[in-house]
A and B are shown apart, each in its own frame.
Chain A
Amino acid sequence: MKRIIVIGGGPGGYVAAIRAAQMGGEVHLVEKEHLGGTCLNVGCIPTKALLHTADLYQAILQGGSIGLKIENIQLDWQVLQRKKQAVVTRLVKGVDSLLKANKVTIHKGHAVVVDAKTVEIEGKPLMADSIILALGSEPVKLGFPGADLPGILDSTGALSLAQPPASMIIIGGGVIGVEFAGLFSALGCRVTVVEMLPQILPIMDKEIAGDVKQELSKNGVSFLNEAGVTEVRQVEEGLTAKILCGAKEREIAAQYVLVAVGRRPRIQACGLEEAGIRTERGRIIVNEHFVTSVPGIYAIGDCNGQIMLAHAASAQGIAAVEHAMGHQPAYYPGTIPSCIYTNPEAASVGLTEEQLREQDTEYKVGRFQLAGNGKALIENGGRGMVKILSGARYGEILGVHIFGPRATDMIAEAALGIRLEATLDELISTIHAHPTVSEAFGEAALDAGNRAIHWPPRI
């Protein structure tokens, strides 16, 4: 029986451990804090729990037009925070049960890699046939003057505020910053997003990014692009930040400043250097099978810095242990969707138009505005769109970008389409239920040939 040691119990580590156990390995998992890692404890799950309430809150506040007359709706923050914690605790317990059910031995404590075959857990050595590093990541800190003041938050801190914030400056217009902007603005907070690049969500499809920004602006979020915070000072009423916007400098006051400029692998003090595991710019270098510079040691998930998404970590974890157990792994990064839990949601899989143009790939665009979709009209007044990018010659799906209700679920159809090398024909000939938002999928595919049924023909 092969012994596999997995260091890290987040979505990368615990999934790898379960898969390794399924394949007959003797699996040990080491976790120094909480099972479930960042995702379950201070990432995906708590943010979505808060967002769910925030969305409902907003829906009810605006519910007059759909016949909901509720006077005096209030947000009970403490109840929400407790509920959030309850969901987290339940899931963490769930991971624990799953690991135990698969006969994975869980070690609590800090692990240090000694060499390709040895890990020290709290000082005690344990031999292994393969080692999987699932060390995760931590928020990047900035070093401007005042960066250590109380009131300067990272994502973890932002999730556990004692009270809903009245005003906040969010540094970073990426996915995390944008989601927090949506969350807090929905709860009545005055939000300003400060982003260094010319546009927010820089790696997203530009059209969708623009739509997201527009929605947030409608809800009172201010955006400063090509801007950066140079200094934060403590004043009586809270904080005030100096922001350099191009050549101009301005000062904005806020209760909190949230630093959401990205995450970096958390690989310190694990013995990597001593064991000969090579890193580059803080990320562990791996080959296509996620093997590090030391054969037998794998690095998956956030700690190799490739794709900082929980589902990517899980898929990589599975691929790594399958390889370690001598199987042919199946890992298709081209099918990894990205989701943004704004309101409406945004989701995408595959390539953007910008990427296709860079590659000089000839492509066709098929679009469908959700104003033409009955279900979307009911759910949110028809705000949103589905965009499908397909190869010009064969019509194969190259990228799908959705903005609208249920985008994060609908993207699964697109990911499967890319996985199976489906072309527009297959999307069109697969019948979508009515009334659903997913119908927009088939219509967008039809639009690529300018023959959508539920939208007038383009001239």
Chain B
Amino acid sequence: MTINVHMPQLGLTMTEGKIVRWLKAQGDKVAAGEELLEIETDKITAQIEAPGQGVLLKILAGIGDTKPVQAVLAVIGKPGEQIKDLPALSDQSVDSLQATALVDSPPAAERVIEGGRIFISPAAKKLAKEMNIDYTLLTGSGPGGRIVECDIQEFAARKSQVKTSPLAAKIAAEKSLDLEGIAKESRIMKADVLEVLNSKPVEFKGALELEGTPLAGMRKIIAERMNMSWRTSPHVNMTMEVDMTAACELKNRLTRAANSKYSFTEIIVKSAAQALMEYKEVNRSLINDTVYQHETANVGVAVALDNGLIVPVVKDAQTKSLGTLHNEIANLGEKARKGSLSPEEISGGTFTVTNLGMYGVDHFTPIINPPESAILGVCRVVKKTVVIDDESVIRPMMNLCLSFDHRLIDGALAARFMQKLRQLLEEPYLLMY
């Protein structure tokens, strides 16, 4: 059997080394431990010793070549010995081999690179095909991890002995556990698989070995949009406290009159829509350096779902009565929770309202829903002591948190918009105006 000379790992961070010079020539006799070549890394220069004795049958890397750690640099063996399973010569610079008399070495026999990273000798590949073995599961014992014939044979022998219960197989498949690693003579059962899973050491390569699920579906979309919005629009947050006394009164009266539970959402949506009609500059989109002015207020109402959120849009909200808004928002909300919103219903928004008041939130900084330029966060209504006409009174107060895109909307504009919004909420009869 031939002996390979590998690029050593000198230091934890070393990934490759450069051949500086060969101290022996192809065809020379070498003794075990004798220095063969000199390499250098970005940190050190070192001599590599021969791992065994014999004749230096083949040099596979020339002066100046950079090779990764573990790459085969040379092959030592008996004179005239066949070199099997050599790594491809195509990625070795044959031209720059040191010019000395080349011994008539046997042709770099079978060396095949199979798609990607799997190295397997043709003999092994043929055997694997005959035995119907998927060799991609194997690590080879040949040079550079190449799969050789005896690997296939050994695997075949082992495979016929490894039995698993159907349950153990299912668990292992789910956890991507290689059952080959379980040394057991009798059938592998659930307990064996669980034992291996629970005893897997945690490798601190910077991350814990946790079971991960690929980001997919709604979560993926939300992640992408939030990221894009955050990166693209410079967000500024503005908070204003609103006296909701009149709005509460309105809500209660509407509830009684319509015999249906009204919420602040429809009142806020209508107020926002009306404010947007007055402060048109807030109702804009900036797309590819072009400003688009919306002529209507399509107000999105964020709905929380089990694993994410979705924003159905109330079109032309400024034209709709509170009753219409109430029904439409309820309907959209239910569709959202059932997952039956149409594409039409979740597109075309020009402004978004997102309400976390029911969770008792007092302030938050929502992320703008692109390509809109602003988003209104609604917080809880809470009775507070406020000073009105120099007197302490108790009023139901609510914070509104506006996040706006400062590329399009300046602070003063945003503030005036918010003032209008507050006015409409505190004097809701203006909604009929």
Contact = CB atoms under 8 A, between A and B. Distances in A.
A396 B168 CA distance: 10
B177 to A, nearest CB: 14
Interface in A404-459: 420-423, 425-426
A77 interface: no
Contacts of A422: 165-167
Nearest to B167: A421
Interface of B: 165-168, 170-171, 174, 187, 189-190
A27 to B, nearest CB: 27
Given A421-B189, A421-B190, A394 B165 contact: no
Interface of A: 394-396, 420-423, 425-426
A425 B166 CA distance: 9
7 contacts: A395-B170, A396-B170, A421-B165, A421-B167, A421-B190, A422-B165, A425-B166
Contacts of B190: 396, 421
A425 B167 CA distance: 10
Given A394-B171, A396-B170, 13 more contacts: A394-B167, A394-B174, A395-B170, A396-B166, A396-B167, A420-B166, A420-B187, A421-B166, A421-B167, A422-B166, A423-B166, A423-B167, A423-B170
Nearest to B168: A421
Nearest to A391: B167
Nearest to B189: A421
A423 B168 CA distance: 10
Nearest to A423: B166
A347 B265 CA distance: 60
Contacts of B174: 394
Chain B interface main SS type = helix
Contacts of B168: 421
A422 B170 CA distance: 10
Contacts of B167: 394, 396, 421-423
B175 to A, nearest CB: 11
Across the A-B interface, the 3 shortest Cβ-Cβ residue pairs = A421-B165, A421-B167, A396-B167
Contacts of A420: 165-166, 187
B173 to A, nearest CB: 10
B206 to A, nearest CB: 31
A420 B167 CA distance: 8
A363 B378 CA distance: 42
A421 B187 CA distance: 11
A295 B242 CA distance: 81
Nearest to A429: B166
A394 B171 CA distance: 8
Contacts of A423: 166-167, 170
A456 B190 CA distance: 35
B236 to A, nearest CB: 48
Nearest to B171: A394
B185 to A, nearest CB: 11
A422 B187 CA distance: 13
A68 to B, nearest CB: 45
A394 B165 CA distance: 12
A430 to B, nearest CB: 11
A450 B370 CA distance: 44
A395 B165 CA distance: 13
Residue from B165, B166, B174, B189 with most neighbouring chain A CB atoms (10 Å): B166
Nearest to A396: B167
Contacts of A425: 166
Nearest to A328: B186
Nearest to A394: B170
B208 to A, nearest CB: 23
Contacts of B171: 394
Nearest to A417: B166
Residue from B165, B168, B190 with most neighbouring chain A CB atoms (10 Å): B165
Contacts of A421: 165-168, 189-190
A44 to B, nearest CB: 31
A420 B188 CA distance: 10
A394 B166 CA distance: 9
Contacts of A426: 166
B191 to A, nearest CB: 9
Contacts of A394: 167, 170-171, 174
B182 to A, nearest CB: 15
Residue from A395, A420, A421, A425 with most neighbouring chain B CB atoms (10 Å): A421
Contacts of B166: 396, 420-423, 425-426
Residue from A395, A420, A425 with most neighbouring chain B CB atoms (10 Å): A420
B183 to A, nearest CB: 16
A394 B189 CA distance: 14
